[in-house]
Chains A and B, each alone.
Chain A
Amino acid sequence: MSKKVLYSYTGIFDTPDEVTHAAEKAVEHGYTKYDVNTPYPLHGMNKAMNLPPSKLGYVALAVGLSGALGALLSLWWVSAVDYPINVGGKPFFSFPAYIPVIFEVTVLSASIATVLAMLFFFFKFPNNAHPLHATDYMKKVSSDKYGISIQAEDPKFDESSVKNFLESIRAKEINAVYWDEEETAHNHKILEPKFLTFLFVVAVLISGTTYFTLNKLMNMLPFNWMMEQSKQSAQQKSLVFEDGFGMRQPVNGTIARGFLPYEFKGKPDLAGEKLVNPILVSKESLKLGQAKYDIYCSPCHGYHAEGDSRLRGQFPNPPSLHSEKVRTWGDGRIFAVITEGQNIMPSHSTQLTVDERWAVINYIRALQRALNAKESDLK
């Protein structure tokens, strides 16, 4: 309670001329830790106080240049590397078109950085705890008076000589300003445990609620309204048609291209007699046949049609297709087996189109011929 720490001695002037003069005198006297407080900037005060030029211009220059460079690099990376889109045949990296954005980014980054640097690094703001606050002196210099304050930190500071000095320059209301005891006693530090806990609680609360609202409450897909269109979708009840079916039946008797009805249902032998393979043996048709055979037939009949299925007894082994019987069958007869199935072999009419079935048959013929080659084939 007893020990008040002195911050400075202050004096007030009525005119700008006087305070400029006072500043000049303070410099003459060799004071360095002093300040002049005026309600608005005074012309010539920098010279009177002998202040070095402000360094904030360098901040603006450095941040502005890096902003420009950063913008250029990211535009290049985004539009030429990460996500190149062809816009009207312009080059991916089209510098002239980037100038507006680069300019804006430069201005934005430099302006923000300069102001932040001034307030927080040069002035060390916010600082409402400064001893000059809440004094009569501050009340006056904030409005219509001009003041000088010589700080106790100054190496030349000495209570009586400073008072004399202020009197000699005809300052009025010479007063001592003390540090606020509460402020000095209570050393606010950023790393105080209380403050850290507070920060931690805030962090947990904010991230927790954000997670909860975004992921639990409003589990929203980013672009979901494309799915919610006012149109009839498959399997939906129709409000328009009398029968209530959303999906319409084709007109009676309509036949889809490539899906001619099969005439020999239940008459495989007749099919063997009447049906003719329309697909000529060619490299392409054999290739297609092989592909389809390997996919659809080989699991049971084996790659070489020898009945050596890969199912290893989990399904009754099918017969070999190299039997005398199948070899002498007409193509139409095999077509009937594929289309309708035979006993436990299922129909493949939904998996294979008509043309593909014939191609598979051509391939089977090739396999059969490979095992039972004639003398003439060897030539």
Chain B
Amino acid sequence: MSSVDYTQELSVVEGKQALRELDDLIAKPLETKPDKKFYIALSITLSMLSLLVIGLGLTFYYGIGMWGNNNPVGWAFDIVNFVFWVGIGHAGTLISAILFLFRQKWRTGIARFAEGMTIFAVMTAGLFPLIHVGRPWLAGYLFPYPNQHSLWVNFTSPLLWDVFAVSTYFIVSLIFWYVGLIPDLATLREKTNHKLKKIIYSIFSLGWRFSNRHWQNYEMVYLILAGFATPLVLSVHTIVSFDFAVSIIPGWHTTIFPPYFVAGAVFSGFAMVQNVLVIVRKIFNYEHIITIDTLEKMNKIMLLTGSLVGYAYAMEFFIAWYSGVEAELFAFLNRALGPYAWAYWIMIICNVVSPQLFWSKKIRRTIPVMFVIAIFVNIGMWFERFVIIVTSLSRDFLPSSWAYYTPTLVDGMILIGSFGFFFTWILLFTKALPVVSMAEVKAVVDGAQPSHKDN
């Protein structure tokens, strides 16, 4: 390991795999009946999902008074979960778009899965603003359409920007994902002997025929989509952070929020992708495709973004003092020492301290350790949003209106249920579609590209 030849690109896929074997390996979960483990996993996620259904049922029937939200803490678990899940969704597009633009070939093994996670995470996130408004059946009014009240939305409000950003992000991610799936669906179409499956694959592969006249345009579109998705992914969490930064609540009203939120989103997104991939590669025997090298690279990104987030925490404190604004200084001291100090220190330990272990190469490459660290990061990032939202609201300018927020059982059910919702989709995804892009992985196997030598 000491002398690596940096003039030679390291191979992304371990060993020289035969292309057809890769196809078989990737398509295997789709061609075999789900086993017992799958059903056990599914029953767990479905039970969690049923908690969501019950929690939402209670919320809709009795109203959002079932939650712990109070005055002044009008935003609590609902918005915490929203920001958390939108953040999780950022890794997918980052991997598929930004790393694509940087020509990072190691992304090929994990891109499809991460994109799928983006879509499911944004779907989960999307639930929260809807239930947060209390009357989700009126969500249509969030969109500017010519209605019978001749009312329009307020285009200068960050909450409306959010509607645009999140829905655009969802649609563009879905398109990106689908475009990537077309060649794989065509491969599956040719592979399968099942009649119904063939019809379904034929419909969704649209008649793709691997023509190089098509590949050329296809690669162009992929590049364009990556070019659009890159600023888009940065804009989404920027706009989410505007929901807070544009207001005047102490602890929210800071210009560091956009980059800080984006870094945090990438941080938590990578942690979630890493967590799930560690399991997926084990179960489906993808160790050669999703290699230890790939996981190590993800851990490096977590180390980077985790440090950025830690820097942002420190900078917030510094600016709170440096600005000389009493309310700001109080807000931050209150975070670290006030009634929510427990949440603050959970956040610091999980987000700032735990990823620092990734400086050690050994830890970066040890699966159980990195798995636990990523779980810590996810917990920490959830608490980050909790700290930002709840501590700032619970003690704002007017001490007479201060109140302590305690979540209720229904809050907890909805939080756990959101994980059930997300993982149910993930499980169905692993059985319904190839979780690794066949075309992309085959293209980066050693010897898969022309050597450009005369033969």
Q: Which residues of A contact B (CB under 8 A)?
A: 15-18, 20-21, 23, 35-46, 49, 51, 54, 56-57, 60, 74-75, 78-79, 82-83, 85, 87, 90, 94, 97-98, 100-101, 103-105, 107-108, 110-112, 114-115, 118-119, 122-123, 125-130, 132-133, 138-139, 141-144, 222-223
Contacts and interface: CB of A to CB of B under 8 A. Distances in A.
Q: How large is the interface on B (under 10, 10 to 19, 20 to 34, 35 or more residues)?
A: 35 or more
Nearest to B23: A143
Nearest to A106: B228
B154 A16 contact: no
A132 B443 CA distance: 23
A87 B229 CA distance: 32
Contacts of A43: 449-450
Contact of A51 (B151, B213, B451): B213
Interface in B433-448: 438-440, 442-443, 447-448
Contacts of B164: 100-101, 104-105
B215 A41 contact: yes
A143 B187 contact: yes
A282 to B, nearest CB: 45
A41 B175 CA distance: 20
Nearest to A77: B152
Interface in B275-295: none
B149 A119 contact: no
Question: Chain B interface secondary structure, helix, strand, loop or mixed?
Answer: helix
Given A23-B212, A128-B203, A222-B149, 20 more contacts: A36-B211, A37-B212, A39-B187, A46-B216, A51-B213, A56-B220, A78-B155, A100-B164, A100-B165, A103-B231, A104-B235, A107-B229, A111-B176, A111-B224, A125-B208, A127-B207, A133-B209, A143-B190, A144-B442, A223-B149
B220 A111 contact: no
A56 B20 contact: no
A141 B225 contact: no
Given A56-B217, A85-B154, A118-B217, A141 B212 contact: no
A75 B176 CA distance: 28
B301 to A, nearest CB: 24
Interface in B411-455: 438-440, 442-443, 447-453, 455
6 cross-chain pairs, A with B, having the tightest CB-CB distances, nearest first: A144-B19, A54-B220, A127-B207, A97-B156, A40-B443, A100-B161
B206 A119 contact: yes
Interface string B197-223: 000001100111111111111111100
A133 to B, nearest CB: 7
A111 B216 contact: no
B68 interface: no
Contacts of B179: 115
A38 B219 CA distance: 14
> Most A CB atoms within 10 A — which of B150, B164, B219, B221?
B221
Given A54-B216, A54-B217, A108-B172, A126 B235 contact: no
Contacts of A42: 212, 215, 449-450
B133 interface: no
A154 to B, nearest CB: 14
B244 to A, nearest CB: 15
B252 to A, nearest CB: 17
Interface in B218-257: 218-221, 224-225, 228-229, 231-232, 235, 239, 242
B319 interface: no
A64 to B, nearest CB: 8
Contacts of B125: none
A145 to B, nearest CB: 9
B168 interface: yes
Nearest to A23: B212
B210 A122 contact: no
A112 B191 CA distance: 30
Contacts of B206: 119, 123, 125-128
Given A17-B455, A42-B449, A111 B19 contact: no
Given A107-B172, A112-B175, A41 B219 contact: yes
B225 to A, nearest CB: 6
Given A82-B152, A100-B239, A110 B228 contact: yes
Contacts of B176: 111
Contacts of A82: 150, 152
B20 A108 contact: no
B215 A44 contact: no
Contacts of A15: 447
Contacts of A18: 455
21 contacts: A23-B212, A39-B19, A39-B442, A40-B440, A40-B443, A46-B216, A56-B220, A78-B144, A78-B155, A100-B165, A103-B235, A104-B168, A111-B228, A114-B221, A123-B206, A127-B207, A128-B202, A128-B203, A141-B210, A142-B187, A144-B20
Contacts of B440: 40
Nearest to A115: B175
> Most B CB atoms within 10 A — which of A35, A54, A78?
A54
Nearest to B224: A60
B136 to A, nearest CB: 14
Contacts of A104: 161, 164-165, 168, 232, 235
A11 to B, nearest CB: 14
A60 B443 CA distance: 26
A40 B211 CA distance: 9
B218 A41 contact: yes
Contacts of A94: 156
B343 interface: no
Given A45-B212, A107-B232, A142-B191, A17 B450 contact: yes
A23 B215 CA distance: 15
Given A35-B212, A100-B235, A127-B206, A40 B448 contact: yes
